[in-house]
Amino acid sequence: MKKILIALCCLAGMFFSSCLGDDNDNQGLTRQEISQCFNAIKGNYTGKLLFENHNPNNANDVVDTLDITWSITADTMIVINEFPQTVILDRIKEESMKAALQEAAPAPLRSLFGFYQTDPISFLLYPYSVVYDIELDGTAHKATLAFWLNTNAYGLFDTSTRIIQMKFQAAGLYLDENTTHNYLTNSAYDNSSIPIVITNANLK
């Protein structure tokens, strides 16, 4: 997984070198620039989802990948119709919750976005929580996966290669309406966990 880790580092490096200074939607861009950015990135995509998954047989292998599809077909919305709960299983230490979530069906992830730079096309992400229907101890429940915002949720698009990369950071997993107990480990805002990255780049 070394190449995948390099891809993650490159994504972070590209982001911070692209001068993120504002955290408002479409900050500093004209309507024409915003329209040009959207027309460039809109469409349907297939690619890879990179996530934290420690290999018990190899301490250096901490990232795994899944195939994924997503679309950007509305002015301010990115939609992943089936966001797999697999991406957080490695960070759940309570076995009953892990088992319940593992049996659940994928659920949609929808994220608003706002452009802040045109070269490369750069945008902040505002993901909604993903809600999974689970059965825990014989009872139906809702498991809600929440995400961090600001510098922990962003995307980049290269117009020459049409490569898009988006980073999400899981903030917490909660059962029903109880937000006092977080089932995820390493959920601090300080990026202590490996981010969730979505890209159509060739990672081979």
The separation between the first and the last C-alpha atoms of the chain, rounded to the nearest angstrom, is: 10
- Residues above pLDDT 90, as percent of the chain: 64
In a domain, 14, yes or no: yes
Residue 84 in tokens: 């797999």
Predicted pLDDT of residue 56:
66
Are the CB atoms for 78 and 111 separated by under 8 Å?
yes
In a domain, 24, yes or no: yes
In a domain, 172, yes or no: yes
In a domain, 28, yes or no: yes
In a domain, 65, yes or no: yes
pLDDT, tens digit, for every residue of 151-182? 789 999 999 999 999 999 999 999 998 999 99
In a domain, 204, yes or no: no
Q: Residue 45 and residue 31: Cα distance in Å, rounded?
A: 25
- Expressed as residue numbers, the domain containing 29 is 2-199
Inform me whether the pLDDT recorded for 17 exceeds 60.
no
Inform me whether the pLDDT recorded for 21 exceeds 70.
no
Q: Residue 8 and residue 163: Cα distance in Å, rounded?
A: 14
Q: Residue 136 and residue 143: Cα distance in Å, rounded?
A: 10
Give the position of tokens 């909604």.
Answer: 128
- The domain total for the chain is 1
In a domain, 167, yes or no: yes
In a domain, 81, yes or no: yes
